[in-house]
Amino acid sequence: MKNIWRYNKLLPAVPESSRLLLGEGDTPLIKAKTIGKMLGIPGLYFKLENLNPTGSYKDRFAAIFVSILKSRDQHVCLATSSGNTGAALAAYCAAAGINCTLAIVDGAPQPKIKQMQLYGAHTYMIKGFGKDAAVTEEVFGLLKKTAHEMQIALPVSAFSYCEEGMQGVQTIAYEILEQQDSFDHIFCPAGGGGLTLAVARGCIAYSEQYSVKSPKVHCVQPEGNNTIAGALRNRRQQANAITTSTTLISGLQVPSVLDGDAAIASCTKLGGTGYLVNDQDVFKWQRLMAQQEGIFCEPAGAVALAGLAKAVTEREVNAKDNIVCLVTGSGFKDMLSVDSNFGLPGLQLMNVAQLESNIRALR
C-alpha cells in the first residue's frame, strides 16, 4: 500500500513499529474538466488534499508528529489550531492513545471543533487568538513555556516550531513530482506560510534527489492577511506581521510571520511570486469548483485557484503551462461559510403530486 512513509529517506527517522497509518497521503492529482478551459489553461490540475482521512493536508503533519511522540513514549500532545491541525492531531492522538489538548483560534468553524471533540481532544477557544497579534503572541508564549516545562514538543504546523512534523507536509511536493514531473507552477494558499514553505522545500529536495525539474512555487494570501504574498511580490526578503487579520477565510487568519521569511526565500529561489486575493473572489471560485468540477472544498481550499485566476489576468502564466492548485481542505469542514455566502435554497417538503409536477417540468 502506498503511503507517505515510502519517502522515509526524506522524512524523520521513526521505527516502523511506531508509524501511524490512517490512509494519509497519495491524494489524487486530477486534471480540471471545465475551469482550466475557462481560464485558458488546459493543463490545470488539482491536488485533492481534502481527501485525506480528517479532510485536510494537515494529516501529513500529524502522521509524522504523533508517530514521533509514540516512538518516544510520550502521552500528552499540547497544540494550537485554527481547525484542521487540531482535527488531524486529535485523530492521530486517538489512534496512538495520547491525550490531546488544543488552544483554538477565535472564530474557528464549529464543525472542525466538533470533529476534534469527537476524537476525544480537550478544546479551549481564546478570545482574539489568531486575530490579534498581541494575543496570539501571548498564547504562543504560554504554550511554549508549558511545553518546555513538561518536556514535550509543541506541534504548531510551522517549521519555526515543528520542523519534523512539517517534513511530512513536504510529501505533497514529492507526490506531485512523482505523479508528473513536468509541472511549471504550483499555487499554494498561505496563512503563516508553512504549507508554501513545505511545498517549496519539498520541490527543492525532490528535484535534487531525483534530478527532475522543479516548478515555480507561488504564495497566495487573502488581502486581509497580507504578511507574505505582498512582500514576495515586491521582492522584499522579510514578511510583515500585521496587527489584526481581517480575512474571513478560516485557517488563513495568521497575523504573525511564523514561516514567512523562509517561505519568501524558498519561493524566490524557485522563481515564484506572491498573489493577494479578496475574500469574495475566493468564495466565487469555491462555488465554481463545486459546480464545474464537482470538488467541494472549504474556502481556504479555493485560495490557490483564486491566485491562479489573478496570475492569468496579469498574464504571468502561459496557456501551455502545466499548473497545480492545491485544494487543502474539505468543504464539510466549514458548512457555516456555505450558509453565509451562497444563499442556497431551503429544502421544500412536498407531496408526491408536487414532485411529479416538478419532474414533468424537466421534460
Q: Which residues of the chain have pLDDT under 70?
A: 1, 181
Cell numbers given for 160: 519555526
- pLDDT of amino acid 1: 66
User: Is domain 4-56+170-342 in CATH 1.10.3720.10, yes or no?
Assistant: no
Ranges of each domain in the chain: 4-56+170-342, 58-164
Does 58-164 match 4-56+170-342 at the fold level? yes
CA-based end-to-end distance of the chain = 47
Listed residue (185, 167, 160, 210) closest to 267, CA to CA: 185
Name the residue type at position 353.
A
**Per-residue pLDDT at 250:** 86
Domain with residues 58-164, CATH architecture:
3-Layer(aba) Sandwich (3.40)
Name the one residue in this structure whose C-alpha cell is 511530512.
168
Residues with Cβ within 8 Å of residue 158, at least 6 apart in sequence: 166, 192, 193, 194, 258, 259
Q: What pLDDT is recorded for position 347?
A: 81
